[in-house]
Structure 1
Amino acid sequence: MEGLGFLPESVALGRFWVHSDGMNDSGPGDGAYFWCLRHNRVETGDDKCPAQYRLGPCPSAEDATHALETVAKRNAAWDAEDARWTGEQS
């Protein structure tokens, strides 16, 4: 690995978790639920819209029902952290 611009010990030798692992269609088993942004309903299994129109996977239908609220809360927290990071907030 000489001349590649990194030390051999810095290369991961095994599989490690990446963000996209948690974002695939399979979700947490057969019980994955999604919130459809087109139809404003919970979808699961074969009865679901394409990924571009849904949020999830969620572990339950109840969680999927509140997916937009979860997104709003996370966005607010990230916006606050961005503001803190850039010094826009005291």
Structure 2
Amino acid sequence: MSDSGSGGHYYWCTRHHRVETEADVCAARHVLGPYASAADAENALQQVRERNDAWDTEDARWAGEDR
């Protein structure tokens, strides 16, 4: 899928494992987004992993645990 720069939104579909646009987006329960570009949507799962790792580290720090 190309990023045409049309100003639309892009979503990562966890059901189909692909970038989707507003024209063909699955139900909200199956998507992450919206994202400003197809590239951002394609990297959504990596961003989720990074945020989860950061939050887990912060939770451990707050609880006084070493990570």
* TM-score, reference length from structure 1: 0.64
Higher strand share: 2
Structure 1 unmatched runs, 5+: 1-29
**Count of aligned residue pairs for this structure pair:** 61
Are 2:66 and 1:68 equivalent residues in the alignment?
no
Equivalent position SS for 2:65? coil
| Counterpart-to-counterpart distance in 2, 1:72 and 1:51 | 20
In 1: Cα distance, 2:66 partner to 2:8 partner = 41
Q: Which has the larger radius of gyration?
A: 1
Q: Share of identical aligned residues, percent?
A: 57
The yes-or-no answer on 1:57 pairing with 2:34 is yes
Q: Structure 1 residue runs of 4+, over 3 Å off?
A: none
Residue 89 of structure 1 deviates from its aligned partner by 1.8
Higher relative contact order (CA 8 A, sep 6+): 2
Aligned to 1:81: 58
Q: Considering only aligned residues, what root-mean-square deviation do their CA atoms show, in Å? A: 1.2
TM-score (norm. length: structure 2): 0.85
